[in-house]
Structure 1
Amino acid sequence: MEHEFTKITKQILAQNFSASGEQIFAASELIQYLDIKTKSANKGSKSRGSFANLYAIYVLVEDYLLKDFHQSEMYSDYEGAVYTNIFKRQRELPFGQKLQNHALNHRLNEEFKRYFATCDFIPILRNPKTNRYWFNENLLKVKIQENVHNIAETVIQIVDAYVEAKRDSFEKFLQLCKEAQTLTEEQAIEFIKQIVAPTVDARIFEIVSYSILKYYYSDRSIYWGYEVDRLQQENL
Structure 2
Amino acid sequence: MPILQHEFTLKIIEILNSHFPNQGEQVLINSELLQYLNIKTKAANRGSKSRAGFANHYAIYVLVEDYLNNKFHIRGGYDDYEGAQFINLLQRQRQLPFGNKLQNHALNHRLNQEFKKYFPTLSYVPVIRDTKTNRYWINENLLQVSINGNQINIAEAIIDIIDAFVIARRQSFNQFIIYCKQMIEIHNQEPLQAIEFIRSLLNKDVDARVFEIVSYAILKQYYGEQKIYWVS
TM-score range, shorter chain: over 0.9
Partner of 1:221: 227
Write out aligned runs for 1:35-184 (5 A): 35-183=38-186, 184=190
Counterpart amino acid of residue 110 in structure 1: Q
Shift of 1:21: 1.4
1:180/1:188 contact within 8 Å kept = yes
**Percent identity of equivalent pairs:** 58
Q: Does 1:3 align with 2:6?
A: yes
1:109/1:123 contact within 8 Å kept = yes
Shift of 1:223: 6.2
Shift of 1:100: 1.1
Counterpart amino acid of residue 39 in structure 1: K
Whole-angstrom CA distance in 2 between matches of 1:57 and 1:83: 13
Q: Does 1:22 align with 2:25?
A: yes
1:38/1:50 contact within 8 Å kept = no
SS in 2 for 1:221: coil
1:187-223 CA distance string (max 9 Å, x none): 1122112212111111111111111111112212346
Give the length in aligned residue pairs: 225
Residue segments in structure 2 that go unaligned for 5+ positions in a row: none
Moved over 4 A (4+): none
1:12/1:157 contact within 8 Å kept = yes
1:40/1:201 contact within 8 Å kept = no
Write out aligned runs for 1:190-229 (5 A): 190-222=196-228
Whole-angstrom CA distance in 2 between matches of 1:4 and 1:105: 30
Counterpart amino acid of residue 29 in structure 1: E
SS in 1 for 2:216: helix
Counterpart amino acid of residue 144 in structure 1: I
Partner of 2:193: 187
Which sits farther off after the overlay, 208-217 or 85-94? 208-217
TM-score w.r.t. the length of structure 2 is 0.93
Whole-angstrom CA distance in 1 between matches of 2:16 and 2:224: 51
Whole-angstrom CA distance in 1 between matches of 2:110 and 2:171: 28
Whole-angstrom CA distance in 2 between matches of 1:176 and 1:164: 18
**Larger-gyration structure (1/2):** 1
Shift of 1:50: 2.4
1:135-170 CA distance string (max 9 Å, x none): 000000101122111000000000000000000111
1:66-88 CA distance string (max 9 Å, x none): 11011122111111100001001
TM-score w.r.t. the length of structure 1 is 0.92
Whole-angstrom CA distance in 1 between matches of 2:28 and 2:12: 9
Shift of 1:91: 0.8
Partner of 1:232: none
